[in-house]
Each structure stands twice: as C-alpha cells, then as structure tokens.
A and B are shown apart, each in its own frame.
Chain A
C-alpha cells in the first residue's frame, strides 16, 4: 500500500466519509475509491452493496480476485429526550456498536445516574446539536413528546441528511407536528423523512420493547437496499 493511499484513508475516516480500497490480490495493485466517486466507478454495484453491509469482501471480476476493504464511519445515534424509552434505547444501541448521544435540556431527565456511560448533553437542541456535526451516518430520534424540544431538533436533522429520522407520537400527533414544522420552513419531503409513529410495528408495549422496535427500524434503514427498507 502506498503511503499516499494510507494517508487518504486516514483523512477520509477522520472526516467520517466512507472509502473503499480495491486490491488485486494477485499483484498487490490497489486503488482507493472515495464516497464521491462511487457512482461513476465500474464496480459501483459491488461497492454500494459492500458499503451498505459495512462488510469487506473478496469479489471476482473478469477472472481477477479483488478484495474490497470497506472503511465506513461508525454509526451514531442521537437521541433527543432523556426519557424512559431512551434509558432502554441507549444501551441497546451501544450493544449494536453505535456511538450514542442523548440531548435533553431538562436536567432532571438528563442526569448521569439515569444515563451511565452515555454522552449526555443537558442543553437545548440549538446549543447541543451544531457541535455534534451530525451527518449521513447518524440515526436521529426525537422522543421527548415536547414540541419545544423535538421540533427544532428535527429541523436540524433535516438539513444534515441523516440516514434515519424517527419521532415519537401517534399519527394524529405526527400530523400536527408536520403542520408545525412546515410553518417553520420544512418541506413535504422533509416531513416524509420522519418515521412516525416510530419503530417497526411489533406490538411493542414496554420502553424496552419500543427500543427494540426503533433499533430494528434503524437497522433496516441502514442495511436494506433503499426500496425495501421499512
């Protein structure tokens, strides 16, 4: 591997941009494909599949064995609301290897006793969110049930191209939320990005079960091809 290739991998990783290194294992020839160049690459179907799975793999093209080494950013989960569901959701997401951040300006909720081992920001979304540099590899859930907290957070998430956005609330609550967000400049396409009611329909009742349904939906969004994601 050329030093230049290694440096580029490290730069892209630090910037949380995915990169794939294609190696011809017969002779060691190598090229690096950056996220911006995936679509135009002759191997784009293979690159897309491996990136979506987050898996490195050997493939065979025209009799050549090529190793696709996938460097994808660690997925993050940003939870707006240090509520009961979040207490179940945060450790579950951590066990699935997400970096988890919980944001809630209400310090009675956002206490370290309730959220051990989690990055906890007891601030309003307008203060807490900009420094997080929320990006495509972020799943974003708003679960406070309080429009004063959830709404500005969701507006921030729309602008950041998160791979998943979910918000707690019934269909009726969600319809009202859509109207409020549109009054603040959100588009219909933005509203359509929100998974609401949040989570896969598995009949979840308890906070832990709701957490499972949310993480199942996030996993589907992350791993399934776009057309079949739930």
Chain B
C-alpha cells in the first residue's frame, strides 16, 4: 500500500506501446538485510534505459544486462544475488543480504 515507486509500470506500458522491447525485474524473495522489499521492481528497455530499483543501486547494473538477454530471448529468468555469490559480491550487495530477482519480458504473448 505504501509503495510509491509503481509509476515505473506506467513507463513500462508506454515504452512497450512505443515499440520498445521491455523487461520487468521484480524482487521476489529476500533474506537477511536486503535493501529493497519483495515487490520492488525495475523496468528496462532495449536502449538500456531503466527506472526503479531492486537493491538501491547495488546490483542494478547486472540486472540490466540480464534483462537485455530476456528481452532478446523472451524467456523469463530468476537471478540471485547475495554475499555467497562472488559475482554479486563484486557488483556490491555489500549490505549482507540475499535477493532473488525475477526478470520477465513485457508484451510476451
């Protein structure tokens, strides 16, 4: 109810209708001190432009890269970032939490 960042969904719809490939990345599970709660989301278009956040800046770069793959392939993906994951550590989820992010293409039939 108190989540105010949902206007990114308006952007997702507008981008899709303007002919962009669009993906939606959503935090679906969190453990430990994750920076954003489940339901937080990021929309990405095929320019690499993105709005919203899934981690407050820690792993957005990696999510955007994966999202571009999802836009190309159309197949959804589950990503996991956490301190146990070396890549995630490298991209900086340094707050000690683990998050799982579901990435899906918008406009799949």
Contacts and interface: CB of A to CB of B under 8 A. Distances in A.
A117 to B, nearest CB: 15
Contacts of A58: 28-29, 38
Interface residues of A, number: 29
Contact of B1 (A10, A23, A25, A74): A74
Interface residues of B, number: 28
Contacts of A137: 1
A54 B76 contact: no
A91 B107 CA distance: 41
Given A3-B107, A75-B1, A97-B2, A13 B26 contact: no
A111 B61 CA distance: 46
B96 interface: no
B4 A97 contact: yes
A107 to B, nearest CB: 31
A54 B37 CA distance: 11
A70 interface: yes
B39 A6 contact: no
Given A3-B106, A28-B76, 8 more contacts: A6-B12, A10-B10, A25-B78, A28-B104, A73-B1, A74-B4, A75-B1, A222-B1
